[in-house]
Amino acid sequence: AQKITQTQPGMFVQEKEAVTLDCTYDTSDQSYGLFWYKQPSSGEMIFLIYQGSYDEQNATEGRYSLNFQKARKSANLVISASQLGDSAMYFCAMRVDSGGGADGLTFGKGTHLIIQP
């Protein structure tokens, strides 16, 4: 079974600062993917960034980057130059290649990020 741990229930960050949201994972599978989703107060789930277990480079998508440290089993999300619109819940999730069916995502409990002007 997989497990995602997000140790920061909430964070306050000043606008324009960079922010790092922590995520550690646990799995015995070798092939897996790590994902970050954003959930604004309106409730929708927005896919942000993906990192594969065999990827050697850290993933980047615009202001989002993923600091992947495989030996430590961590996949932290870094948001550069934070904006007021970044205020939301952020979920780390993972999915393994079980070799059979399409496994669902395993989510962490999330981090509530608040950007302050």
Partner 1 sequence: EPEVTQTPSHQVTQMGQEVILRCVPISNHLYFYWYRQILGQKVEFLVSFYNNEISEKSEIFDDQFSVERPDGSNFTLKIRSTKLEDSAMYFCASSVTGYSNQPQHFGDGTRLSIL
**Helices and strands in the chain, H and E counts:** 0, 12
45 belongs to the binding site for partner 1 (CB under 8 A): yes
90 belongs to the binding site for partner 1 (CB under 8 A): no
Contact 23, 77 (CB under 8 A): yes
Number of residues that bind partner 1 (CB under 8 A): 32
Distant-in-sequence, close-in-space partners of 19: CB < 8 Å, separation ≥ 6: 11, 13, 78, 79, 82, 86, 113
Stretch of 10-18, 44-52, 64-72, 73-81 lying at the interface with partner 1 (CB under 8 A): 44-52
Binding site for partner 1 (CB under 8 A): 31-33, 35, 37, 42-47, 50, 52-53, 91, 93-98, 100-110
